[in-house]
Amino acid sequence: MGKGHGFGKVIMFGEHFVVHGVPGIASATSLSTEAIVKKFKGPGLNVIDNRKGTEGYTQSKKEQQKESLEYTLKAMSIDLKKNPMEITLGGDLPVFSGIGASAASAVAIARAISDEFRMNLSDERINEIAYEAEKAYAGNPSGIDNTAATYGGLIWFMRGAPSKMERLKIKNPVEIVMGNSGVVADTKEVVAGVAERKQKNPQKYDKIFKDAEELVHKARKSLERFDLKTVGELMNENQKLLQEIEVSGKELDFLVKLARDKGAWGAKLTGGGVGGCMVALTPRKELQEKVASAMEKEGFKVLRMKIG
């Protein structure tokens, strides 16, 4: 029996922009997906998915999960005819869009297979395999999700050949709230839509992307100075840019406004957008609870966490 884990993530700055080479800042969450792999008597592959989360998520991602597993097995040179297996997914990371559930499962599965077959793969190799697996969900993944899922912590990420990752350190962990819109989004479609609009209107999008790049550098400096007020203001600016590239949605906009109205220092969508999650910066437990409770009163599912 092989075991593996992969962290969930929250993108604080740069989603979508990071796909096109702009740096991004992400933090792994304390929640993770766990995978168990064992030899299977029947033919092929049997997947038992015990994760909980947004209604309809697991079912709507069924085909993408199947494709993702095919990419994983190919990258790991596993022949199911010779090595039929059963994969069981669990852990405390819920399956919400925008929280890195697919990347967390890809990393967990790769690690569990490596453990079961005594491959002793490095984190670097696990990350490469998870990136391949993410293509099924994102089409053209940036790599930030699987990197956060593999390594954990707060990271600065820049896509390239090779991609660059740096660990960021901040003075103290900071409370955040993640609110789930309840809408399951197709990341592959959303990423492709941004690329299409960027190609059709390069002048408009080049300006937005330039603004996004300047913003993420300011955000890094502000985090390192532990200037959380400025971090929050920059999150709000980032949300405006994401709205301009048409990846927000009415539920996300509602949650962002609600969080700010209740005192959050900044709030924005996180991840692919359209549906999925948003994140609010809520330093101190009291503020975190105030914002989270307000969302729950409106019927939304919420995660209380820390970054850094």
Q: Tell me whether residue 250 is exposed, middle or buried, using C-beta atoms within 10 angstroms of its C-beta: 0 to 12, 13 to 18, 19 or more.
A: exposed
DSSP 29-55: EEEEEEEEEEE-SSSSEEEEE---BST
> DSSP of the chain, one letter per residue?
-EEEEEEEEEEEE-TTGGGGT--EEEEEEEEEEEEEEEE-SSSSEEEEE---BSTTHHHHTHHHHHHHHHHHHHHTT--TTTS-EEEEEEES--B-TTTTHHHHHHHHHHHHHHHHTT----HHHHHHHHHHHHHHHHSS--SHHHHHHHH-SEEEEE-SSS-EEEE---SS-EEEEEEE-S----HHHHHHHHHHHHHH-HHHHHHHHHHHHHHHHHHHHHHHHT-HHHHHHHHHHHHHHHHHTT---HHHHHHHHHHHHTT-SEEEEESS-SSSEEEEE--SHHHHHHHHHHHHHTT-EEEEEEE-
- 92 catalytic? Reply is no
| Catalytically annotated residue among 49, 79, 92, 145 | 145
Residues in contact with 149: Cβ distance below 8 Å, sequence separation at least 6, in sequence order: 6, 7, 8, 9, 28, 100, 103, 104, 106, 107, 130
Active site residues: 145
